Each structure stands twice: as structure tokens, then as C-alpha cells.
Chain A
Amino acid sequence: MTREPAGLAVVGAGPAGLAAAVAAAGLGVRVVLLDAAPGPGGQFYRQPAAGLGARRPGALHHQWRTWRRLRAALDTLVDRGRVTCLTEHHVWAVEREADGLTVHALLGPEQDRSVAVRAASVLLATGGYEKVLPFPGWTLPGVLTAGGAQAMLKGGLVLPGRRAVVAGTGPLLLPVATGLAGAGAAVVALVESAGPKDFVRRSRALAAEPAKLAEGAGYAAGLVRHRIPFRGRHTVVEAHGGDRLEAVTVAALDAEGRPRAGTLRRLACDTLAVSHGMLPHTDLAETLGCRLDGPDVHVDDEQRTDVPGVWAAGEATGIGGAALALAEGHIAGHSVAARLAGTAPDPDAWAGAARVRTRLRAFFAALDGVYAPPRQWPELVTDDTVACRCEDVTAGAVRSAVRDLGAGDLRTVKLLTRAGMGWCQGRICAPGVAGVAGCDLTPTRRPIARPVPLGVLATPPDRPDAPGHPEAPDRHDEHDQIDPPDPTPSKGLS
């Protein structure tokens, strides 16, 4: 383990974090890379667990060659002692101190011990997670996020079931549908609420990115090859089942975004992989006081946040896929190296990446206008539909808080109904509750990025990088009280 504080601590070993670590370490910066997962790769390059002995893991992946190059570069830098790769480290806070930053991480999978890593600068490359809006039946086992199905497939080599419907909106639905089919699931339908007209309206912006269009065409060919019926301008109205999913009802959408009469169809399935887009992971940035632009961490041309010493790259700064994450990480790595050396960086050093970044940001901005949930989706949410999964709060309760008690913003809805107060701290329900309540989606300020056992908060952190650091202290392990970091007293969690 390192003794001198590192030059750069990178949180997140996805495409953005890896590109940054490789770039910065290549320029002489000592880098510590931390990730909660058992190995580097992030969401896009998620690898099968080692014990599964995959001899052709690339069969589940796109752009496998890029991954191989990144991985080889990382391995070389690790061998040379330039990068320390700390996997199974769940970062729960980053603290600013007079002379640098301290990254606090829980050691997984037990998560009952915390370690602290000190560095002169920090890059937040924490990626994003999926947004799913509520609909009747969305809590049935067998209904899961599209990316979650993909993650379980890529990491655990398992399928959630045999007959799957992939639904919602967004570019992620394509790789998920073809991925599930390629791995042996019968994909009964890909249900996408965007329609061809939405694409035509943005065709200029989209056509400016031929590589992306080719990628899309590749997936479209995959749909044909696997005989996956594509239903554009359709939505899932309801998921049916008792103890688990048995079928979904889908419908065509009219111009207003409402199910068209006479188009309802029931499809038998045991899996519904659903997604309505992605949201960036910004909690560490928020606790550091970084400025946000809407849901995204704000960065300048060098990927610096407005907090000195803190950079951000990849989907934490806005959803835009793996290629954009790579470009941003590369730029951030160069910027960190120059800034640590006390010089202004030369943007020529990353001109290629900057061009890719400009193009892909424009492309994803256009895509954002294409992929949108049906405008009237809250009308499909019945009063007895659960809106907040953790706290079992129904849409009816949310509506009554607005109608009868005058709640006009997410925070008041939360205080009155407990929606967003549970384990996930509103990460999953906030967009849905905001939509049902008819109020804005405002970022929740969470004091801590991960659930932290109370015992950890009470014990001083292990400092593996501190000179003369003693042996890892033997901590007691009665730590099943993962308390959500909400200041409001929470029932039933202790």
C-alpha cells in the first residue's frame, strides 16, 4: 500500500475513470483508482466474475478491442507501481482538507471497515444509474431495470428468465434486447415509446455522428437476426402477476402520449427489463459542494468542477455513453497532470478527445429530445401503484399530499409521505414521485454517498497511506444496521 499521498485518486473504474488514470499515470502522476466492483470496467466493460472462467467474455461486449487496450495499459501501470487499483472499495465520502483531499471507502463485500486514501486531487468518475418511472405492477419480481438485466448477464452470466420484454425508452434498450437474445432468452418485444417521427425531427444532429448511426444500425440488424419485434411509439401500460411477473399489457401511443383505444395487447413473459433513461451519480460531488447543472456535475473545458482539486468525467457530468466517457476521462487525466505540475495544460495535447467530446455531447443532446417517456405517463399510474419502492408509498398518497395538504415540491412530499426517505434515498423514486406530484425533480442533498454502518462512523478510519500505519485494526462486526443517511428519524430500520 502507498505511503506518500497520491497525486490523483480516481473514484470509479469505468471508461471515464480508466481513461483518466491511464492518461495521468502515463504523464507521471501517482494514481489510486477506487471502485466498488470486484474488478475494473464499470458498466460498459463489466466483466464476468473470475471464478466463472469465461474464455470468450468479448461475446457479451461491444468495442472489446478498446477494452483490451485500456486493460493492458492499466496492467502495465499497475506493474510499474504508478497506479494502485483498489477494487471492492465503496467510497462514501470525500473530504476536503487544507492540504488535499481524503477519500473514505468501505471495504466490500462486508462493508464493516472504512479506509481513507489521501490525494492531492480527486476525479469523480462515478457514472450513472437508471431511471425507471412507475407503472402498475412495476414492483413485481421479474421486473427489473434494463441495465440491471445487462449487468447480471455480463457479470454473473445469468438470465433473469426465459421470455423477456424490453421496454421504456432510450438507446440502452437496443444492446439489452440483443444481449438477452444472444444469451438465449426469447425477447418477445422491444417496446420503445419514441417513434420514427421523433428521429426524423432530429435527423440532422443525429446524422452528424455516423459512427453512432452505424452502431444503431448494427443493433437494428441484431433485432432482425434475433427476430425481436420492435414496437415504436408503444408503452407498457401494466405488468401482471401474483408473486412474480406473468405478462405485460402494451399499447400504442397517440399524439398526446396516451394509450390508443383498441391497441392494448397482453404479452406473456417472465422478465420485463425496463428503463426510461439514466441519471448521473452526483452524491460525492454534492457533498463536496460542486456546482450542478440540472442533474449533472458542472465541469469546465478541462473537466474541472468548481471545487479546487476536484475533477469529474463520464456520465457523472451528463449521460452520453462509453465513448464520451473515454474522451472526458482522457482530457481530465491530462489536465490533472499539468495542474499538479503547476502548469497550464496545453489543449492541443487532447485536441482529438476534445473534438469527440463536442460531437458526442451534441449527439446525445439531440438523442435526449428523441427518447422521452410518453408525455402523459403519470396518467397511467393508478393510485394504488407504489411510487416509492423502499417505503411502500403509493401514488395515491403522493397525490393526496399535493391535493389535500398542499405539498408543492419534492421535499415537502417526502416529509409528508416518506417517499424518498428509505434505503435508496430517493435515487429510484425521485423522478417518478416528482412526475406523479407534478413538481420539479430537484437534486436531493445527501450527506453521505453510501449507506454506512453506524459502527464505521463511530470508529476512526483506517489510514493505509499514513506513515507508520499500524496493522489493520480488528473491528467488531455487528454492523447490520445500514442506516440511511437521513437526518429525519426513520422508522423500523434499527
Chain B
Amino acid sequence: MNPLRLVRARPDAPFTVTFDGREIPALPGRTVAAVLWAAGITSWRTTRTSGSPRGVFCGIGVCHDCLVTVDGRPNQRACLVPAVPGADIRTQEGTGHDA
């Protein structure tokens, strides 16, 4: 069983996004976080002081742990932002303004 099968999902046409330059598949409607999870990626940010890896924590836009850079804009909450075809998703380091 998987979640898509459980609800008998028939998603619209899949597309691809890139994560740190690597192409990964995405389903329409999924957030950036859901797309990354589905590709087996659980962290996409490092913290400002200790540089430790982070991904989704609260899943609903409260904690800001899931910040990520999308199409050059840092500090997007991956659990809220929908993935769109061709999105350029990048690991965010620190404040997202350091690179």
C-alpha cells in the first residue's frame, strides 16, 4: 500500500523540478516538501550557527524549519509552497543570503 493507491489517485501529468541541479519527478499539487520527500530527500537546509541539517518539522507553516531556496528566492517554506514545473530548488545554507 502507498498513499496514492489508498485514495485511488489519478494525478494530472507529472513534471520535473530540480534539486541542487538534479532532476527529480514531481506530481501536480504537491508542495516542494512533499516532492522532496517523495524523492527520498528529507533535509534541504542547514542552520545558521551549527550548520545542522533540517527539513520538515511542523508540516503546517509554523516552525520555519523547512526553509528552502526556490528559483533564487531563499526562505520559502517548503511545506507551503507548491512545486511548479521546472522549479529550481536549492539547499539553503544559513540565512539564505550568505551564498
A is bound by B: yes
- Which residues on A are within 8 Å of B, measured CB to CB? 36, 38, 43, 48-57, 59-60, 108-109, 129-130, 139-145, 147-153, 155-161, 182-184, 243-244, 386, 389-392, 422-424, 427-428, 451, 480, 482, 492-494
Q: Which 4 A-B pairs have the closest CB atoms?
A: A49-B29, A148-B59, A156-B34, A51-B28
A327 to B58, CA, bound (A): 27
What's the least CB distance linking A212 to chain B, in Å?
24
What's the least CB distance linking B54 to chain A, in Å?
6
A158 to B6, CA, bound (A): 11
A183 in contact with B80 (CB, 8 Å) = no
Partner of A152, one of B7, B59, B73, B97: B59
Residues of A within 8 A of B28 (CB): 49, 51-52
With A55-B8, A129-B60, A427-B62: A153-B3 Cβ-Cβ less than 8 Å: yes
B7 in contact with A151 (CB, 8 Å) = no
A59 in contact with B37 (CB, 8 Å) = no
With A108-B80, A243-B43, A243-B53: A43-B60 Cβ-Cβ less than 8 Å: yes
B42 in contact with A244 (CB, 8 Å) = yes
Which residue of chain B has its CB nearest to the CB of A243? B53
B49 in contact with A392 (CB, 8 Å) = yes
Residues of A within 8 A of B82 (CB): 38, 49, 109
- Interface of B: prevailing SS: loop
- Which residues on B are within 8 Å of A, measured CB to CB? 1-12, 27-31, 33-34, 37-38, 42-43, 47-50, 52-65, 67, 73-76, 79-82, 94-97
B63 in contact with A141 (CB, 8 Å) = no
B27 in contact with A52 (CB, 8 Å) = yes
B59 in contact with A244 (CB, 8 Å) = no
Q: What would be 14 A-B contacts, judged by CB atoms less than 8 Å apart?
A: A48-B7, A48-B29, A49-B29, A49-B31, A51-B28, A53-B11, A129-B58, A141-B43, A155-B31, A157-B34, A159-B37, A183-B1, A389-B65, A493-B95
What's the least CB distance linking B80 to chain A, in Å?
6
With A148-B58, A155-B31, A158-B37: A423-B80 Cβ-Cβ less than 8 Å: no
Which residue of chain A has its CB nearest to the CB of B44? A141
A392 in contact with B47 (CB, 8 Å) = yes
A436 to B21, CA, bound (A): 42
What's the least CB distance linking A315 to chain B, in Å?
13
Residues of A within 8 A of B49 (CB): 391-392
A492 in contact with B48 (CB, 8 Å) = yes
A142 in contact with B42 (CB, 8 Å) = yes
What's the least CB distance linking B58 to chain A, in Å?
5
Residues of A within 8 A of B38 (CB): 156, 158
Starting from the known contacts A54-B9, A161-B42, 19 additional A-B residue pairs (CB-CB under 8 Å) come to A38-B82, A49-B82, A52-B4, A53-B9, A60-B7, A109-B76, A141-B43, A148-B56, A153-B3, A156-B29, A156-B34, A157-B7, A159-B3, A160-B56, A244-B43, A244-B53, A424-B64, A482-B75, A493-B95
A139 in contact with B54 (CB, 8 Å) = yes
A158 in contact with B29 (CB, 8 Å) = no
A472 to B53, CA, bound (A): 40
What's the least CB distance linking B62 to chain A, in Å?
5
Residues of A within 8 A of B50 (CB): 386, 392
Residues of A within 8 A of B33 (CB): 152, 156
A51 to B94, CA, bound (A): 33
What's the least CB distance linking A184 to chain B, in Å?
4
A151 in contact with B29 (CB, 8 Å) = no
A159 to B36, CA, bound (A): 11
B62 in contact with A424 (CB, 8 Å) = yes
What's the least CB distance linking B78 to chain A, in Å?
11
Residues of A within 8 A of B3 (CB): 60, 153, 157-159, 183-184
Residues of B within 8 A of A43 (CB): 60
With A52-B27, A60-B6, A428-B58: A152-B79 Cβ-Cβ less than 8 Å: yes
A147 to B53, CA, bound (A): 21
What's the least CB distance linking B26 to chain A, in Å?
10
Interface centre among B7, B59, B82, B94 (most CB of A within 10 A): B59
Which residue of chain A has its CB nearest to the CB of B50? A392
With A51-B29, A52-B30, A151-B60: A160-B9 Cβ-Cβ less than 8 Å: no
